[in-house]
Amino acid sequence: MQRSNRQAAVNGRPRRDSVDLSAYPGLVVVYLGFRVGRFRGLKALLGIGRGLAQVQRTMPDGLLAHENLVYGLNHIGMRQYWRDLESLEAFTRSEPHKTWWHDFSRDFAGNGFWHEAYRLSGGMEAIYVGMPRPIGLGTFAAARQPQGPFMTSRQRLAS
């Protein structure tokens, strides 16, 4: 299905395709971003980059696809497709993610992080940490503190 429009042309017109997601009823799409705010933040970014390369090589259970994105010179990100929320949660509670989040939470180093998650079965959620201005859903939706029953991604998806 990944053909160029030239290769897929039929009668001079580009081929059109869609996707059948019926095999993935629990699909979760996650966009993530990391924004370097200070020079010392590059060290954190390089460490995460090595870990992300490993994630792409090993593809943890439930990770269907991983794509790297560039939002700006100091703002990189990724889009991930997960089979279901349970697989995504299992990954976030394991290494290397567990250590990344622990280290980042202890010292932001002037950096910002955010993610937005979208479930095929319904629900969207987001978290923004240390971002200098709103991005994504935060550009139009009211801010809400991730506390109490709104603390975890699962809880925010259910809201």
Given this model, what pLDDT does residue 11 score? Answer: 75
Given this model, what pLDDT does residue 87 score? Answer: 97
CATH code at position 101 = 3.30.70.100
Given this model, what pLDDT does residue 125 score? Answer: 96
Q: What tokens appear for 127 in the block?
A: 């978290």
Given this model, what pLDDT does residue 19 score? Answer: 97
> How far is Cα 70 from Cα 76, in angstroms, rounded to an integer?
5
13, part of any domain: no
Of 129, 126, 101, the C-alpha closest to 44 is 101
105, part of any domain: yes
Walk along the chain (159 residues) and give the pLDDT tens digit of each residue: 555 554 556 678 899 999 999 999 999 999 999 999 888 778 777 777 777 888 889 999 999 999 999 999 999 999 999 999 999 999 998 888 788 777 777 877 788 999 999 999 999 999 999 999 999 999 999 999 999 988 999 999 987
16, part of any domain: no
Query: How many Å from the N-terminal Cα to the C-terminal Cα in the chain?
Result: 36
Q: Which domain holds residue 32?
A: 23-158
Given this model, what pLDDT does residue 101 score? Answer: 77
> How far is Cα 40 from Cα 107, in angstroms, rounded to an integer?
11
14, part of any domain: no
138, part of any domain: yes
> How far is Cα 77 from Cα 68, in angstroms, rounded to an integer?
6
Secondary structure class of 87 (helix, strand, coil): helix
